[in-house]
Amino acid sequence: MGIKKFEIGELVFEFNADQVYNSWKHSMEGILDEDEEYDEWDGIGCNRQFAPLERIGIDQLRELCIIESQHLHDIEEGNKTIFDLHESEDEAISEGRNEPYMILDIGVRSTVMALLELGAYPFSSCNGACFSEDNPHTESYPVIAMYGENAVLQMIEQTARLSGCGLYGTQDVTGLGGLVLYTNNIRNFSRMTFQLLALLEK
């Protein structure tokens, strides 16, 4: 049974989970030449930025959720700026203390990693430059695009409803479909992440 309709505010999007690919490999069928090796491609959705991402386990995910939530709180309260966080991460990277998820925007990382842990296949994300004075971003609002199996996507749909996030299906010129999670408040992603974590801990 597909997800028939999801409403947030005045926006209504139609979405059918059956139209979403079950895996990155499935999504690339018919796109790659027959003699091409899937291993030669850099990652899910051919988005190089997601190439190194692997599941980190529930304990590390919980820690990431807390850290990112604290970062958002610090920015909101004026205790730190996005530049302060970038600077401290640059220092950590130069000292070899970096984590693979640091390639993701602050504000979406714990959600991306929770979706990955749940069994979805995120292939693109952006925090939409939601922090003042941040550098320009490719999206105008926070988004995470993914593929996934119906059961996983339905859990995502349920937690999105409870967290004030929206969902819509998308299809590009190649015919590839995906599910896009979005919000007008980056804090909603954080709320959703803790709900996904609770599902994972059951």
pLDDT at 9: 54
Q: What pLDDT was estimated at residue 66?
A: 95
Return the domain boundaries, the chain. 5-201
- Residues 6 or more apart whose CB falls under 8 angstroms from that of 90 comprise none
φ, ψ dihedrals at 116, nearest 5°:
-60, -45
> Distance between CA 87 and CA 164 in Å, rounded?
31
Crossing angle of helices 150-163 and 186-201, rounded to 10°: 130
Torsion of CA 102, 124, 135, 74, to 10 degrees: -50
Q: 123, 117, 167, 127: which is closest to 146 by C-alpha? A: 123
Q: What is the C-alpha to C-alpha distance for residues 202 and 198, in angstroms, rounded to an integer?
A: 7
The pTM of the full predicted model, rounded to 2 decimals, is 0.78
**The pLDDT of residue 46:** 45
Q: Write out the chain's pLDDT in tens, 202 residues.
A: 444 555 555 445 555 666 665 555 565 565 555 555 544 444 444 443 455 578 999 999 999 999 999 999 999 899 998 889 989 988 988 898 888 888 888 999 999 999 999 998 888 888 887 787 777 777 778 899 888 888 888 889 889 989 989 888 766 555 555 788 998 899 999 999 999 999 999 8
